[in-house]
Structure 1
């Protein structure tokens, strides 16, 4: 497996700025070169136009074909001082009257402009126009000037442009590398500060002061992530301590009871009683482990399966029948009222309602009445259990759904349950896309859950 490729933001920014500089300089250089080339061509055409006017003037002065020899002598004199000047005169049949070997037309441009190649290979630019009827009816006059001087100028100019562009791009890349490195310094400092955060100092946060505006959102998000991580880490430490506390007592009971049984010979009846007692402790531990595994699955985001439309009132009556003996023993009454339909797993829903009722039974004084109320809400279906027991302290109320939490005494002596009942209630609600809440005052305590309504899109048929 190949290692992942590590990109560099600094290198990408430097190359991007270099590419932008290359593009801009190329466009600017090409524009300047194109403008100069047009100007050189215009100057050549202007010169050829001036020469053609002079030739036409000389033709007018000769006044006819009989003066062709005098015209040729005048044209030879004009060309004597301009080695790059070409003049050709053709009659109506295409026969050459003056100029030597005719040139080859390379390009005919709009209007009368043409680009030519002379017999000696020289490149010329000029004008081709009809000739005066008095000299050669239907003839053509071609006047052109050499482009060598303009080509040499364009070559020198283009070479200078390329050199300047190369120096410009090189300087831009070096300056961009320096500027990007300097701009990335705050990110490197934040990275160094983040590297110093360890499990034993999760309270550290990245500073927002003197941080560039572009990094503020990143720093805030990182600090919020650290807060969640710190809370999760502290919760895990507390959870581990609570698990150790919960397991220590039953394990000590098993060890001590077994050591006592092994310390001397025992009758079969005594051994049987000891094994039955150990089995009760082991069953209790099994329940604790199963509850912890259930909560772990819920923490991983596991969703409730086999959802179906369920009547909360029907499940409430089943729970009430199950706790009938316990209620009678404690002298309590359980009243079910209302109804609602939710998309739920019936077994998980009954477990949540049973935990709520069990928690209320433990908190309600003898002779009290517990109410299990169900109703439909805009958010879905809600079930809540009200008990007239003593109010929960405001500091403890937000934590009653935490694992192993017992109001007023986090590590109280073991009684009924392990302090996981309400944590399981909240987990079941979350697995159904809902939530759990609680409120408490002098009139009593209300703990409830909200589940989604019977949305068919979320129901798995059996």
Structure 2
């Protein structure tokens, strides 16, 4: 079950409101409880002082009935206040249920509680021993206040507090739902706009200007993803078109030559010549397919695994020796310079393949007698291998796309030129893939008639993806 952001926000609003109301309610309840207790204490003190003075200055048994009458007057009918005078002399006693009070009263002087039979709540008491005066012996004066009204007040306050808190939580939930609905409206609009996107509207972008700041960053990131997806989609379409074109040419050649060969009687040498030509086209087809499968594996995350620590210059020289015949025929030279002592952990077969493609590219686009330079540059983290050759300058806008599959600077090149040296447009894409498999990258520049194309690998041989 999908959890709604709106529901989660409402739930969080409710929990926050409940927590706040609970804290405030607890604080108010504590304040009320302390104030009621203080009020009881002050009331007891006031009544006790009024009674204490009257008893302390009365030691005549004949006048004691007046004290009792006064205490009867001070005692409310509802019994919310009670008075007791405990004495060893029965003439100077006062209060109801004195026998019970004498049994249960164990409170020392000061504040205390007294629980009587038949009462739900205890009595809060203030007790003090009064010294003897004239014929009156020492007595204990107890003034008590009934706690029931205060407890009823606290109980009513608690019920009202809980009810108002729950009502407040409900109101916060309703208000929170409305706030969440209004607040998430831009997100809903953004979602509706995103749902309208499709393969035919990849160039469309989500509007950022009317959105709040939090969604603007998300929308900008989404638009960036759309831009990358559009680029990948366009590249895939171009790739599919280029693949179809590259495969169509050799297939057309195969079909054409075969049809011509079968159009009339041929001798065995003539059929052999046709088969030889067809074999060349089939080899070209196999080369294209193998390169495409290699690039597909790299796209899926395949990395170089058979790493060997070796000299970079040594592996370059081995690759240059492989081109010795082509170089002699074109009267070209290859010079290796730079940090010739540089070493790295590489998969030698892949490294040679990348160097072979770079040298193929340099030879193909250089004039006879040109001097090709391979430069090794060692930095703390990476080692760069650059192949430079004189030739026709490459415009700045073409340089970033040289490593794209089937990309050609000169679209007018004929198929014959393309088929000479990895001419199906995957040579530099493979260089980029091999650099990626080693955790490196590629670079290209064309300055003052000298084109430099190369790749880099980690100096430590560590593969990072």
TM more than 0.5: yes
Contact 1:107–1:115 at 8 Å: present in 2 too? no
Distance 1:21 1:365, change over 3 A: same
Note if 1:428 corresponds to 2:446.
Answer: no
Over residues 167-197 of structure 1, what are the superposed CA-to-partner deviations in whole Å (9 max), with x where a residue is unaligned?
2221111111011101110010011111111
Corresponding pairs, count? 450
1:367 to 364, 369, 377: 369
1:6 maps onto 2:2 in alignment: yes
1-side partners of 2:170 and 2:105: how far apart?
Answer: 40
Deviations 1:310-343 (A, max 9, x none): 2111111111110011111222222222412222
Q: Secondary structure at the match of 2:57?
A: helix
- The alpha-carbon distance between structure 1 residues 394 and 55, as it changes in their structure 2 partners (threshold 3 A), is closer
Distance 1:299 1:116, change over 3 A: same
* Match of residue 37, structure 1, among 29, 33, 38: 33
Question: 1:200/1:172 Cα in 2 relative to 1: closer, same or farther (>3 Å)?
Answer: same
CA distance in structure 2 between the aligned counterparts of 1:136 and 1:250, rounded to whole angstroms: 134
Deviation at 1:159, TM superposition (A): 2.5
Say whether residues 1:313 and 2:313 are aligned partners: yes
Q: How far apart are the structure 2 equivalents of 1:149 and 1:193?
A: 65
Partner of 1:419: 425
SS state of the match for residue 254, structure 1?
helix
Task: State the 1:161 CA deviation.
Answer: 2.2
Shift of 1:431: 1.6
Pair 193,107 (structure 1): closer, same or farther in 2 beyond 3 Å: farther
RMSD after superposition:
2.9
Structure 2: 5+ residue stretches without partners: none
**1:300-379 mapped onto 2 (5 Å cutoff):** 300-338=300-338, 339=340, 340-379=342-381
Write out per-residue CA displacement over residues 55-96 of structure 1, whole angstroms, 9 at most, x where no aligned residue: 212212322778766644543443265622222334589xx9
Is 1:310–1:344's contact at 8 Å kept on the other side of the alignment? yes
1:62 counterpart SS class: coil
* Displacement after TM superposition at 1:296 (Å): 1.7
Q: Which of 23, 26, 39 is 1:27 aligned to?
A: 23
Change (3 A) 1:293 1:80: closer
The answer on 1:128 being equivalent to 2:162 is no
Q: Does 1:46 align with 2:42?
A: yes
The TM-score, its normalising length taken from structure 1, stands at 0.89
Query: 2:57 matched to which residue of 1?
Result: 61
Alignment check: 8 A CA contact 1:105 1:114 kept: no
Residues 128 and 141, structure 1, Cα contact 8 Å, conserved in 2: yes
Secondary structure of 1:406 counterpart: coil
3-state SS in 1 of match to 2:119: coil
Aligned pairs for 1:74-223 (under 5 A) are 74-79=70-75, 81=77, 83-91=79-87, 97-99=93-95, 100=97, 101-102=100-101, 112-123=110-121, 124-134=123-133, 135-137=136-138, 140-223=140-223
**Structure 1 residues 176, 458: CA separation in 2 closer, same or farther (over 3 Å shift)?**
closer
Distance (Å, rounded) in 2 between the aligned partners of 1:386 and 1:324: 17
Return 260-269 or 272-281, whichever deviates more. 260-269
Worse-matched range after superposition: 410-419 or 190-199: 410-419
Offset at residue 458 of structure 1 (A): 5.9
Instruction: Output aligned runs, 1:273-312, within 5 Å.
Output: 273-312=273-312
